[in-house]
């Protein structure tokens, strides 16, 4: 049985994304470990000593930055290489943050070729890049603040677009209501006209075969029926 190319821990709170990355790396020949959050990831790192950890900067619970800080604060533990992931709309801020924390970076969504290339490059690098955080008064919030501001703007834009979409849907619904009402009226008019035409045809047929004064069958009716009897005799 062949040995694994590397042991890689994937930290992802979305099962579909986790399965995608894990399957991709497994097909490459890597041994893949899985974690749903930073706290679980720390326990796995201590127990399994992976070569590489792929983690979202904004993963649920303990975020990627706090994970790295906790990991680097354990001098006697194995220091795996780190690959940060983040959504494309905060890629610039997240990549700068990854550099500060001695991590590689990849934006989401990611295609398989790019992910594998980043992983290969990270595995070929040093086991742990230096953490460029020297000032004790800089909290983790100071690193995430630029990303938070960007996210707030992104959310505001999404809410604005959602409101516009809602207004557009309401306008289309109102237009559809008008069209439906007009169509209903048109159908009723056509049904009424069809009924009136049927009644007019019946009246006309009655007038053709009955005398207008007596209401009895007229000569035309009698001649037509007499001729029919002669033909059938």
Domains of the chain and CATH, by start: 7-134 (3.40.50.2300)
pLDDT at 184: 84
Q: What percent of the chain has pLDDT over 70?
A: 73
pLDDT at 28: 93
pLDDT at 20: 94
Query: What's the pLDDT band for 25 if we cut at 50, 70, 90?
Result: very high
Instruction: Kindly list the distances between the CA atom of residue 77 and the CA atoms of 44, 50, 86, 232, in Å, as whole numbers in the listed order.
Output: 12, 11, 26, 114
Pick the closest to residue 94 from 58, 44, 122 (CA basis). 58
How many Å is the Cα radius of gyration of the chain?
39
Higher pLDDT, 89 or 111: 111
Q: Are 90 and 147 in contact (CB under 8 A)?
A: yes
Is residue 163's pLDDT more than 90? no
């Amino acid at each position: 049985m062949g040995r694994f190319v590397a042991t890689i821990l994937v930290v992802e709170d979305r099962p579909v994304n986790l399965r995608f990355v894990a399957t991709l790396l497994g097909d490459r020949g890597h041994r893949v470990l899985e974690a749903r959050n930073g706290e679980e990831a720390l326990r796995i790192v201590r127990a399994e000593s992976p070569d590489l950890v792929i983690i979202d900067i904004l993963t649920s619970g303990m975020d990627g930055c706090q994970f790295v800080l906790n990991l680097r604060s354990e001098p006697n533990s194995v220091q795996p290489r780190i690959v940060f992931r983040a959504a494309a709309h905060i890629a610039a801020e997240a990549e700068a943050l990854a550099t500060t924390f001695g991590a590689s970076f990849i934006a989401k969504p990611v295609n398989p070729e790019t992910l594998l290339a980043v992983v290969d490059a990270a595995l070929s690098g040093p086991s742990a890049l230096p953490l460029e955080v020297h000032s004790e008064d800089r909290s983790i919030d100071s690193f995430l603040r630029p990303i938070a501001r960007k996210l707030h703007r992104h959310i505001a834009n999404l809410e604005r677009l959602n409101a516009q979409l809602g207004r557009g849907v309401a306008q289309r619904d109102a237009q559809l209501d008008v069209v439906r009402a007009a169509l209903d009226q048109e159908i009723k008019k056509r049904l009424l006209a069809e009924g009136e035409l049927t009644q007019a045809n019946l009246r006309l047929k009655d007038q053709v075969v009955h005398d207008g004064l007596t209401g009895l069958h007229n000569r035309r009716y009698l001649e037509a029926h007499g001729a029919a009897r002669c033909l059938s005799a």
